[in-house]
Amino acid sequence: MSTARIPILAALALHAGAVATAAAVPSAVPTAVPDATGAVNCALVAPPAQAGVDRHLGVLLKVYPRNPDIGPDYAGCQTLWAQASDGWETITVVHYRAGHVIRVESPAVAGDPVEQCLVSDGAVVRGDPALCAQLDDMRLESLPADCLDADGSGAGAEAHCILR
């Protein structure tokens, strides 16, 4: 298993019971408008159509933006959503500055120790140094949007359907 998939699996394992019954945030039109800090994609409440896809324990997952779209200058967020009965639930929000992970939010997992981490210029500023030094490895992998059908079944036999 890839290190980058650990946050997805950990968040889902800790939160698997609530995903099916969660009251998800209603869909909204995604926006890449920067917030007050200049970060983009941090206020998305639902995945855009081009979000990456994955499936774990029978739950359809979406990730936006995908890793191939996060360059060395990216300042913004990468979000993991799980499909709930009435929409999408935000599981993890990974914050980037200059293409590097600086902090992680896990709204679906109360007390997640990763939320205590803050990294600036490659140095751990807050949180457990051993855990927080690994933040940059916590990138959320996904398949391209067209690699799973809308119901999450595997349509992804195409050559481009690779986790990234």
The domain spans of the chain are 3-24+52-145
How much is the pLDDT for 35? 62
pTM for the model stands at 0.78
How much is the pLDDT for 18? 34
How much is the pLDDT for 93? 95
In the 3-class helix/strand/coil scheme, how is the chain assigned residue by residue? CCHHHHHHHHHHHHHHHHHCCCCCECCCCCCCCCCCCCCECCCCCCCCCCCEEEEECCEEEEEECCHHHCCCCCCEEEEEEEEECCEEEEEEEEEEECCEEEEEECCCCCCCHHHHCEEECCEEEECCHHHHCCHHHCCCCCECHHHECCCCCECCCCCCCCCC
- Contact call for residues 69 and 87 (beta carbons, < 8 A): no
Torsions phi, psi for 123 (to 5 deg)? -110, 140
Say which amino acid occupies 44: L
- Contact call for residues 75 and 32 (beta carbons, < 8 A): no
How much is the pLDDT for 157? 60
pLDDT (tens place) for every residue of the chain, 164 residues total: 344 444 444 444 433 333 332 333 333 334 455 665 678 999 999 999 999 999 988 899 999 999 999 999 999 999 999 999 999 999 999 999 999 999 999 988 888 999 999 999 999 999 999 999 999 988 999 999 999 876 556 655 678 888 88
How much is the pLDDT for 108? 83
